[in-house]
Homo-oligomer: A and B are copies of this chain.
Amino acid sequence: MLPAQRRDLLLTRLERDGRLVAKDLAAELGVAEDSVRRDLRELAAAGLCQRVYGGALPVSPAVADYATRGGVATESKRRVAAAAARLVRPDMTVLLDGGTTALAVARALPHDLRVTVVTHSPTVAVALLEHPGAEVFVLGGRLFKHSAVTSGAAAVEAAQWVHADLFLLGVTGVHHETGLTTGDADEAAMKRALAARSADTYVLASSEKIGAASPFTVLPLSEVSGIVTDAPEDHPVLDGLRRGGTPVVMAD
């Protein structure tokens, strides 16, 4: 293991786990704790992590930069994705939406889980190349660059032959009155088409989506089986959703 490779690994772990414990990593990598601590010090000096007693934590604001650049999800999205991934049971057929949260779900799926995934996102399809247990079907069509998914008539048509158990739906707004919304009309239609082909639909709603609204309605809240979110349990908008009869799944 090259020293530089080890530092890369530390950053990857930090991303995945949200924290680093120097002692554990030293044991795992078979090096002295000193070396790990030295690495952490350097990474912290480079602004890539925040040094704390016992290990290191992600840099609070700078993470956003990294996230937008490499398609890496924020901690919030990762929590939601992890909870959503737990909804996927072996041998299910899952419709997976596009967007960074759905991408995080793909990455959060156990690599050897036997599952059939249907997606209209090439990005998600590429991520699932690393999952030997996943049978992947791509829905073709015109590529909508902004969110990197296929949409339009051809894509909607391609979705018609699918019968899925679960649709994990990404949106940009979840509001108790306007329902689920997104920023593009074609995209909204595509999401509706997918929801119609699945027994259950769960919404991936990281905290910043809660209470927000975008121009185009995807579905009314009554049409979904549940909302997966990491917003605080007692968030006022969540209370509103619950009163409206929408089940809320907490992402611890």
Contact = CB atoms under 8 A, between A and B. Distances in A.
Nearest to A158: B140
A2 B140 contact: no
Interface stretch (A39-47, A119-127, A175-183, A193-201): A119-127
Ranked nearest first, the 3 interchain pairs of A and B with the lowest CB-CB distance are: A140-B140, A4-B52, A122-B122
Q: How large is the interface on A (under 10, 10 to 19, 20 to 34, 35 or more residues)?
A: 35 or more
A50 to B, nearest CB: 8
Interface of A: 2-5, 8, 11-12, 19, 21, 50, 52-55, 57, 61-62, 64-65, 69-70, 122-123, 125-126, 128-130, 132, 135-143, 145, 148, 150, 154-155, 158
Contacts of A142: 135-137
Contact of A2 (B2, B53, B64, B132): B53
A64 B12 CA distance: 11
Contacts of A132: 145
A157 to B, nearest CB: 10
Nearest to A12: B61
A150 B140 contact: yes
A122 B143 CA distance: 10
A65 to B, nearest CB: 8
B129 A150 contact: no
B140 A138 contact: yes
B125 A143 contact: yes
A109 B69 CA distance: 18
Contacts of A158: 140, 154, 158
Contacts of A148: 126, 129
21 contacts: A2-B19, A2-B52, A2-B55, A4-B57, A8-B57, A11-B61, A62-B69, A62-B70, A65-B130, A69-B126, A122-B122, A122-B123, A125-B143, A126-B126, A126-B148, A135-B142, A139-B140, A140-B141, A140-B155, A140-B158, A158-B158
A3 B125 contact: no
Contacts of A65: 130
B140 A137 contact: yes
Contacts of A19: 2, 5
A228 B136 CA distance: 32
